[in-house]
Amino acid sequence: MGGYGDVKLLRDDGLRLDGRKLDEMRPVTIEAGILPAADGSAMVTHGLNVAVAAVYGPMEAHPRKIQRQDRAVIDVRYNMAPFSTSDRIRPGFNRRSREISKVTAEALESVVLVERYPRSKIRVEIEILAAEAGTRCAGITAASVALADAGIPMRDLLVGVASGKVEDIVVLDLDKAEDNYGQADLPVGILPNTGEIAFLQMDGDLSPDEYNLAMEYNFKAAAEIHEIMVDALKRRYEGGEN
């Protein structure tokens, strides 16, 4: 974490700079089936973050050496658009996006019923169009709605959420200032129905108690986002459109 104590992130009334309570999430909207060329797709806005995910497949796995005889492989690409951040990002893969892609793929492989599709590949493309802290979580949420939209069987919908710590206080869903100047960030991918965790990263400094509280916040937020995800998928298939 970049932060040190000199930037004030909590107001005197105990609320956060943007007026949120400690355990309050930024607004989330989700739309499924937004990309006509893809087999499944979704757009997630989480605060000011905008994440788009597309799913292609299952398809034949190429090159052959990536094939698994007993299951499908999930090929995830997390990419930030050059204009998604305050300073332009050079197009192309960097170390950060490679790592996020890898752990996101592994998280999704733990949720998708990959045994159903031996020797095949499922391509998941995550594009971040606007970034304001928490893009990997928005990307995970978008990816799992896109997978569901593509009709790929899963044990549960994977939900990406994060909590962290600012001014020694645990808060849910860090915004950009809190991420830059806060003391810890705990992004996780939660399966709300089973209560399991498929994605976990953390950096900064958290005591065991703080970790427990942060995780409690994460589970609470995951349940809220899960409802929005289910609602997006229902709207997509109940409306009779498309």
> Can you give the binding site for other proteins, defined by CB under 8 A?
34-39, 48, 50, 52-54, 56, 59, 77, 79, 81-88, 91-93, 123, 125, 127, 129-132
Instruction: Enter the tokens of residue 32.
Output: 């499924």
Q: Closest Cα partner for 225 from 152, 141, 166?
A: 141
Instruction: Enter the tokens of residue 152.
Output: 């790929």
| DSSP states along 16-63 | BTTS--TT-PPPEEEEE---TTSSEEEEEEETTEEEEEEEEEEEE-SS
Report, in Å, the least distance between residue 50 CB and other proteins: 7
Report, in Å, the least distance between residue 182 CB and other proteins: 20
**Closer of 34 and 169 to other proteins (Cβ):** 34
**Closer of 69 and 86 to other proteins (Cβ):** 86
Helix and strand tally (H, E) in the chain? 4, 10
Report, in Å, the least distance between residue 136 CB and other proteins: 16
* Alpha carbon of residue 39 to chain centroid: 20
Report, in Å, the least distance between residue 98 CB and other proteins: 11
CB 188 within 8 Å of CB 161: yes
Report, in Å, the least distance between residue 36 CB and other proteins: 4
**CB crowding 56-95: b at 16 or more within 10 Å, else e:** bbbeebeeeeebbeebbbbbbbbbbbeebeeeebeeeeee
**Closer of 31 and 216 to other proteins (Cβ):** 31
**Closer of 76 and 221 to other proteins (Cβ):** 76
**Closer of 54 and 147 to other proteins (Cβ):** 54
Q: CA distances (Å), 234 to each of 114, 161, 225, in order?
A: 24, 22, 14
**Closer of 43 and 191 to other proteins (Cβ):** 43
Report, in Å, the least distance between residue 194 CB and other proteins: 29
**Closer of 53 and 186 to other proteins (Cβ):** 53
Rounded to whole angstroms, how far apart are CA atoms 195 and 186?
Answer: 17
Report, in Å, the least distance between residue 58 CB and other proteins: 12
| Strand 203-204, strand 196-200: pairing | unpaired
